[in-house]
A and B are shown apart, each in its own frame.
Chain A
Amino acid sequence: MNALYWWLTLAVLLFCIGAFGVLVRRNVIVVVMCLELMLNAVNIALVAISNFRAGALGAGTLFSLFIITLAAAEVTVGLAIVIANYRNRRTVQTDQYDELKG
């Protein structure tokens, strides 16, 4: 049992909490928050592995910097889409987005 094990356990736990939230929550804003949680869990895993494998400046740290940037871009696009839909229907509950089915 080394320190990496505990860090990865934390990452997996956070990732699962995020994934669970995406799957069960009906409010799109909360879903977007859970998506961010999943990506941050990935960051913890990457930095921990990188530190364990190659010191603080390993490739994993670099990867996590890119993921932070991408998460910001993703939430920007996501919230814009949420607002566009809110203007159409006055709701952010996913179960009321039911125009398309069959």
Chain B
Amino acid sequence: MKTLIFADDGEIAGQICSYLKTGTENYVATLPGEESKCGKTGAKQIFVLNGKPDSSNVSIALKELKDRESIDYVFIGSTAFGRDVAGKLSGLGNMKPLSEITSIAFKDGIAVTTRFLYGGKSVLTEESNSNLFVTAPGISEIVQDKPGSPVQQLNLNDPAVKIVGEEKKSAGGVDLEKAKVIVSIGRGLGKPDGIPMVEQLAKAVKGEIAGSRPVCLDYHWLSEDRQVGLSGKKVKPKLYIAVGISGQIQHIAGMRGAKTVIAINKDKTAPIFEECDYGLIGDLYQIVPKLVASLLA
């Protein structure tokens, strides 16, 4: 069984390669500079796609690789770019895609997969003859214990769209997936001026600060890599303190793996209280300083 794995993030390509280690011959394609992140995960070959990548030229390159190497299954890491590529490749190669899988096992040529549905409210188990799997980040730890894979450089066609300019997004340099304690803030904070107060709490519990989607993407109070949820990081700390977060299902999908959840919210009916171990009903601006004082006492 031959697989082709593509992710624009080498770490995610490496996770998939590590996950699929048994019984498959894995070919990896990624973008320049990413190949070292997955270099020792047991890929038969790593292809580095040089040029100006867009979803069009990358999907064409993957289609060519798939045909040339007689690939049975394609796996694409679910990033914004990955999903675009997966859609383009599905249309181009008339493939059978399955999105956002969180696990996969093959039984007699049938794929048994799981994925979230209804924004994370449920987990769907399915059987299919799909041949393109968009794979949720973090499907496995990355295991770099194999000899280095041979690397081959490939050139991409010109992009279909004009790439006029690019800016890097600011990154906080945190590894939320590995954090043991997380203090997470939501829109209930009301203003960025509340952040120093939350930082004191984070310090008192030796935790990292994270946030809901609006806090990270709409208001940019925190950098985007601190977003927890369905479209953000999936975290599994021992302790998760949700401050002014309502607990919409797409947020819960990111923190379900936490061991103990504490919620602070002024609305008794907030859904976060259905997903917490301990809940404090009240104004976070009253509660957080008192909590910090008690922790330090």
The answer to whether A and B interact is no
